[in-house]
Amino acid sequence: EKRAKKKKWSKEVEKTFEKELQRLKRMNPQGAEYSVQINYIDLILDLPWEHYSKDDFDLKRAKKILDRDHASLEKVKDRILEYLAVLKLKNNMKAPILCLYGPPGVGKTSLGKSIAEAINRKYVRMSLGGMHDEAEIRGHRRTYIGAMPGRILQNLKKAGTSNPVFVLDEIDKLASSSHGDPSSALLEVLDPEQNEKFNDNFVELDYDLSKVMFIATANNLSTIQPALRDRMEIIHVPGYPVKEKLIIAKKHLMPKLLKENGLKSKDIKIGDKVIEKVIEEYTNESGVRTLEKRLSKIVRNRAKEIAMEDDFKTAVSPDDLIKILGPSHAKDKYIGNEHAGVVTGLAWTQTGGDILYIETSLTRGKGKLTLTGNLGDVMKESAVIALECLKSHAMSLKIDPSVFDRWNVHVHVPEGATPKDGRSAGITILSALASAFTQRKIKKYIALTGEITLRGDVLPVGGIKEKILAAKRAGIKEIVMCHHNKK
């Protein structure tokens, strides 16, 4: 009762509290429901109903903090500054629900922390990976023994304010089971039109979530329920090119690793050339997680030398890398095409981009088409379309149409163990087939990506930035794609 007097809450909450308190007074403390009732009243007192932390509207300071913690990612930073600017002018606004989507290790989760610091709010993180119970989001009914509120309200209670920055980590890894579907329960939480009256089964009172800034993170959008995806503003956080990785390594990773391993900056010097060699030859990713592991190994090696009082040079040379990290394994370098019928293609994967080779060979036969290399249905169809397209344009390529009935065609995409699918290899397969039938080699250092139609049109495809980064990593100089992808 004493705690309730200090509370500034709405009439509805006050009325419910009084009613529940009277009920508690009449209860036998030995009764099974007594603990649920006392938990309920405690929760109502602990929730920050009308308590909001004050935002810091110094946009220049916010920009400084975001730039300090993250290299590049301009789109995301602009979106946060726009939100702050509107909030500053209007002083009251439904918080946006952002979904940062991109490959692992590009700094999606840590962005949430920076945003909270930039706008001076509390930071809450809730991991959704593998969550399969709807009650985790919405709470249990109070009729059950051991009933608890949902994790959303528990985290707000922990934060102590009703407007924290709330990171929902790994929203694409929600599961569903016999206990319900949590991604459907999140629809109410993440809808700016509905979430001002969020109803938790345990609390049974409307709670206002409209001031909470929800930031979801995901590696793969295709596994997020379409209705849930529709409620979020999706911001793509792509990978980093080598130059940006170099800046991240120098500004963020090295100081952190030196601190973690008890070294001072005078104990070890890693030059730009060496870091670039590590990036290009010992990692193959869009983010910087593997890079951090490799640099950590170099730093630990130095720590061992200091602890064992060995002689060493402060600077790490490229030759030392082979000793510390072993021989390099840069597998996706451009190999060249000494043969007709071999073309370089570009692929999008969840971890970023990759290059792949499409090989074609002709053997005497009756015009049969064989496809190998663990291809999915869409990619197989692309190959069939490419061959038909080539047949219909045979004359313009100076190919004798009767050739198609006398030769069998075999298309293979190496690394047979890796499943490959998608429509973007259409023009690559077509070029490989044309190269094989005309016995002309493809130009060097060139890669292709785009969907092909029967008429010979090229359609735009996705994942362009990742594909360009992969091509850059592999040393490719030119890329062919649909002009709609130019933007």
Q: Which residues are catalytic?
A: 424, 467
For Cα atoms 206, 91, 125, give the angle at the middle one, nearest 5 degrees: 55
Phi, psi of 354 (to 5 degrees): -155, 155
Q: Can you say whether residue 91 is alpha, beta or left, with left for phi > 0 and alpha for psi between -120 and 50 degrees?
A: left
Of residues 423, 428, 456, 455, the one with CA closest to residue 442: 428
Q: Is the dihedral of CA 415, 405, 398, 460 positive or negative?
A: negative
Tokens read off for 165: 């920055």
Neighbouring CB atoms inside 10 A of 142's CB total 19
The closest of 349, 343, 365 to 438, measured between CA atoms, is 343
Question: 53-83 burial, b if ≥16 CB within 10 A, otherwise e?
Answer: bebbeebeebbebbeebbbbbeebbebbbeb
Among 204, 136, 210, which Cα is nearest to 174's? 136
What 8-state DSSP symbol labels residue 221?
A: G
**CA 256/CA 295 separation, integer angstroms:** 11
Cα 162 to chain centroid distance, Å, stands at 27
